[in-house]
Every structure is written in structure tokens, then in C-alpha cells.
Amino acid sequence: MRWTQERVLAVAPDAASVAAGRKLAVPGPWSATGCTESLLWGSCQGSGKKPYQVSIDLVGPAYKCSCPSRKFPCKHAIALLLLWSDGAVGEGETADHTAEWADTRARRSERVAATAPPDPEAQAARRAERLAKMDAGGEEFSQWLIDMMRGGLADAMRRPADWWDGGAARLVDAQMPGLAERVRDTAADVAHGLTPADLFDRVGVWWTMVRAWAHRDALSPALRADLQTSLGWPVPTADVRAGEIREGWWTVVGSHRDESGRLAQQRTWLRALDSGEYFMVLETAGPGQSLQVPHLAGAGLRARLGVYPGSAPARVLFVDPPEPDGAVLRLGAGTTVAAAFADAAEAVARTPWRDRHPAVLDDIVLGGSDAHLLVDPSGAAVPLVPDTPRRALLALTGGRADQVFGELDHGRFRVLTVVADGQVSAL
């Protein structure tokens, strides 16, 4: 099934790639194009003598291009996808360069699948070694935080970036990369105007994390799992698939792609049609990798979800490819601003290191002199996150929405989906 243009543009890494891809999405520079049910290929003539060879695995999706671009997918892959979406690429015999690439990917997958199961004793030894490193690293970081508070936050905010990076590097050595990323991000935020009050809040969360780790045996299994994941010890996908499975109908209430860190992330929020519970599909991609195409906001899905250990809202993965099951006009029962903050406060009390809390707000108007507030019928308001595309939000809503879905993040709201005039739209 050919992708829609919206789906093609959703995989683009940035707006510049979209603009460049659109310019190339004409037959002129292309030759030797073709497709099968799972592969797409073509050659695009650039400024050099030799055309760029483009190969796309439509199932992955995955992309390969002989151009020097470090973006995935590059502008040539986006252009070829747009041509294919318009029906300008017909079926044919797979090009040699694409067949070779696909065979290499298939052999790599087979090697991974054929890998012998790990030795239990070796696993236990590696686990013990990691625990010892994390324990020692947690104690060292605790002392680092004590020294910071003794010196005062004003002194910490004057520190150069390499001071923060040094603390983060020691956490990486201690195999706590999740906490290290928080410290590293704070260095950039301090340089861009982070307030002492915000820094104080972050230091409090970091202290809670390392002291909770030191007393992890006293935590509930769900809280211990949350902490382990937040510190950067991932749960193997195979363990999730072999664990708790939830099967049913779900609504895609929104998604957000964040490419500001070293790893690109995509959060897709699902909501159970029967219970109204929220679940999150989290995908990550490193350099040279691409994220999956996000599911459309408002889409109904029938799917089996593997549930990661931890407290609600749980992280999940799709055990099998989901089956589309129509679309919805509402995102489920909504709430008020005050109730959303109360739910978030309860979640923070349970897991202080969680930053984002999903919520559907009903009957919302945009308020404030520059439309920077969401206001509910009671008059309660929540400010929007600074990077909200407010012009787009105003265009979608006209200043009023039946529902908005998004994330409460440090007292501000990130709008991901809008329901207005009978239409569900992603922001």
C-alpha cells in the first residue's frame, strides 16, 4: 500500500529536508526507478557525473543513499518516496544495488536471530559487575551534589560546561547514562537562562534518584523498575515480549518527536478505549538511524501490547503490527486543568523522576495577550511550553478547542493533538 504524502513527510528529519525533497520530487533527475511490495529504488542525478543510488525498505522503514548526507532519510530518499506516493514509480525488477543492500540486511537479521542464548552464569556476573559500578557511581555523585550545594547554586550556575560534562562523564562510567543525560542537558539549559529555582528542583530529583537507588531493595517492584529505567538500564525487548501482554482497542491520542539530544526520541501516546488508561510507545534512534513513521492522531488501533515493568502510565511496545480500526472524533473523557495538575502531583509523589504526564483537557480556549495559556471553563489556566507553535495552534482552533491532548511538563503544557470542529489534528 503506497504511503500518503503526510506519511512521507512525517519521516523527514527536519523542515529543510522536506523543502529539498519536494524540489527533487519531479521525474527529471530520476532514472532506473522501481518498486516491489517492500522495496523502492531509483537513481538521482546530482551535480556530479555519477547519480546517487537510493534504496528504501518500506517495511522497516530503512534508507540507504550513496550521497554524503548525514540525515536519514536524506532529501533524495524523501523525493523518491514522494514520487512513489504520487504513483510516478512503477513496479519492476529490483535494482542490483538495492537487492544487495536488502540481502545484507536480511543476513544481518538472520545472524541476530541465530545468536545463541547467553550463558546464565555470565549474565549474573555482568549484572553483579554493573550493580557494583552503579552503587559506587551513585555514592560519588551524591558527594558531587553535596559539594555543589555547599558551594551554592549561584556558584554552580557560573561553572563552565566542562564542569557539568565531567559529572556526566563519571555517571556514564558508572553505567547510569540516563542520569548523565539529565546532567549534560542542564549544562546547556544553564547557558540558556535556567533559573536557580529550576536548578534546585533538578538537583532535588537527582538526589532522590541516587538515594533511592542506594535503598532500592526497599522499593516496590514497579518503582524499582521505573528507577532502573530512568537511570539508564534498559529492559530487553525479549523480556517485554515474554511478559505481560495487553490486547484490545486503542486510540492514538498524540505523538511527539524530540531530536535535541544525542538520541532522537519519539513518544506515541495510546489510550485504552475501555478503561481510558494511557500507555506510551517510546522509540529511539541513534546517529544514522531513523524513527518509525508515527501513527496518526485520532487513529483507532487493534493491537497486542507488551508492557514494560513500572508504574502507570506504562511504557509498551507493539508485539505485532497493529491493525487499523477506523478513526475517532474525540480522545476519550477529558478533565480540567486543576484535575490534570492533581493527577500529575500524585504521579510525581510516586515517581519524582518522571517529567511528563499525559492529559486530555476539555473545552479549552487560548488565553493571554499572546495566546500562551490554555484556559478551561472554570477559568483555571496552564501556560504552554515555550516552543509551542502558537500560530499553528490558533489556525487549528480559532482560539477554542473541544479537546486538546498533551503532556504536562514542569508545570507547562505541550499540546500534541487538537479536536476542533469535528476534526482531530496533530500539532
Task: Provide the whole-model pTM.
Answer: 0.69
3-state secondary structure of 209: helix
What does the pLDDT read at residue 407? 94
Torsion of CA 344, 386, 168, 233, to 10 degrees: 40
Kindly report, residue by residue over 235-264, the tens digit of the pLDDT.
Answer: 888 888 888 999 888 899 999 888 766 667
In a domain, 73, yes or no: yes
What does the pLDDT read at residue 76? 93
d(CA 168, CA 180): 4
Claim to verify: residue 97 and residue 133 sit in the same structural domain = no
Claim to verify: residue 199 and residue 246 sit in the same structural domain = no
In a domain, 118, yes or no: no
Claim to verify: residue 95 and residue 160 sit in the same structural domain = no
In a domain, 208, yes or no: yes
pLDDT averaged over every residue in the chain:
87
For residue 94, give its domain range: 5-113
**Does residue 340 carry a pLDDT above 80?**
yes
Kindly report, residue by residue over 44-102, the tens digit of the pLDDT.
Answer: 988 888 899 999 988 878 889 988 887 778 899 999 999 998 888 888 888 888 888 88
Kindly report, residue by residue over 274-287, the tens digit of the pLDDT.
Answer: 888 999 998 877 66
Grid look-up 546464565 returns: 120
Claim to verify: residue 168 and residue 261 sit in the same structural domain = no
Number of structural domains (the chain) is: 4
| pLDDT confidence band for 143 (50 / 70 / 90) | very high
What does the pLDDT read at residue 325? 74
**Does residue 212 carry a pLDDT above 90?**
yes
The domain boundary, picked from 177, 205, 231, lies at: 231
The domain boundary, picked from 71, 90, 113, lies at: 113
**Does residue 115 carry a pLDDT above 60?**
no
Kindly report, residue by residue over 392-420, the tens digit of the pLDDT.
Answer: 899 889 899 999 999 998 889 999 999 99
In a domain, 308, yes or no: yes
Q: Which grid cell sits at 382?
A: 496552564
What does the pLDDT read at residue 116? 55
In a domain, 20, yes or no: yes
**Does residue 233 carry a pLDDT above 80?**
yes
Q: Are 222 and 354 contacting, i.e. CB atoms less than 8 angstroms apart?
A: no
Claim to verify: residue 308 and residue 361 sit in the same structural domain = no
In a domain, 243, yes or no: yes
Q: Which residue type sits at 92?
A: G
Claim to verify: residue 92 and residue 152 sit in the same structural domain = no
Claim to verify: residue 10 and residue 109 sit in the same structural domain = yes
Burial label for 410, CB within 10 Å (0-12, 13-18, 19+), is exposed
d(CA 160, CA 338): 39
Claim to verify: residue 104 and residue 142 sit in the same structural domain = no
Grid look-up 480540567 returns: 336
Claim to verify: residue 90 and residue 12 sit in the same structural domain = yes
Claim to verify: residue 211 and residue 242 sit in the same structural domain = no
The domain boundary, picked from 183, 207, 231, lies at: 231
CATH code of residue 309: 2.40.50
In a domain, 332, yes or no: no
d(CA 22, CA 230): 39
Claim to verify: residue 199 and residue 248 sit in the same structural domain = no
Claim to verify: residue 176 and residue 242 sit in the same structural domain = no
Q: What are phi and psi of 238, to 5 degrees?
A: -60, -35
